[in-house]
Amino acid sequence: MQSQLLRLKIITLTLIGYAMAITPISIRAQENNTLLDIHTLAPKIQLEMRYASTSNFTGKVVSGYQAPKCLLHKSVAEALVKVEQDINKFGYALIIYDCYRPTIAVADFMRWAQDLDDTRTKAQYYPNLDKSQLVPEYIAEKSGHSKAATVDLGLLDCKQLPCIVLDMGTEFDFFGTQSNTNYPTLSDQQRKNRDLLIQVMKEQGFENYPMEWWHYTWKAGSLPDQAYDFPIQ
């Protein structure tokens, strides 16, 4: 009997060790607090996490977005909070649309893009393009968001309450050249709004992706070149 119990313990420990060995690095990263919920540092920062809702170009909740949270590497989250604090002094605030994006969500984007019969959101998000044109110009097989150092965001004018979203020339996630940061025929106010966002983000180490006025990646420090895939919960 004792020898049987001993064998069972050995088997159990072996299985536990095997499970630990195959645990995805992404899950370990979450458990070790590599990524932080931005609201742990700035509870009042405005979130409008589009992919955790149906208000996005797919028309559905995207795979991996089980909760409307903004997760980022600690250093990135701290830099973003500094942006919020700086801009609050002038009566503005950030509105965040996306942060960490699981690789399963990126795959979901690709599946949607390849379904050419699903054009429910064309009028709102890509009125001037055929859906077949979205890959790879606008939708790619990999995303820097999966490394948890990239954020999509805009600005709010909070000089009078309630806050209002500043006009950036297009909606978030609009597919078209109008979303290019330096699109030439913006109104004076739209250009000022985009330039303001560039300025405050750059001061804290964020670099804009010129194809999308809302897309910024933190470049101020060295982060692991690791794409994560745990769901946002």
Instruction: Provide the terminal-to-terminal Cα distance of the chain, rounded to the nearest Å.
Output: 44
What is the per-residue pLDDT across 120-147, written as a single tens digit (0 to 9) for each? 999 999 999 999 999 999 999 999 999 9
Would strands 150-157 and 215-218 be described as parallel, antiparallel, or unpaired?
Answer: antiparallel
41 and 4 inside one domain: no
160 and 51 inside one domain: yes
Q: State the pLDDT at residue 140.
A: 94
16 and 112 inside one domain: no
9 and 104 inside one domain: no
What dihedral do alpha carbons 153, 154, 157, 163 form, nearest 10°? -60
Model-wide pTM > 0.75: yes
Judge whether 171 lies within some domain. Answer: yes
CA neighbor of 155 nearest in space, from 211, 194, 112: 194
What is the per-residue pLDDT across 180-207, written as a single tens digit (0 to 9) for each? 999 999 999 999 999 999 999 999 999 9
15 and 123 inside one domain: no
> Which domain range does residue 50 map to?
36-218
What is the per-residue pLDDT across 71-94, written as a single tens digit (0 to 9) for each? 999 999 999 999 999 999 999 999
pLDDT above 90 for 56:
yes
Judge whether 78 lies within some domain. Answer: yes
Number of domains in the chain: 2
Q: State the pLDDT at residue 34.
A: 81
Catalytic sites, residue numbers: 212
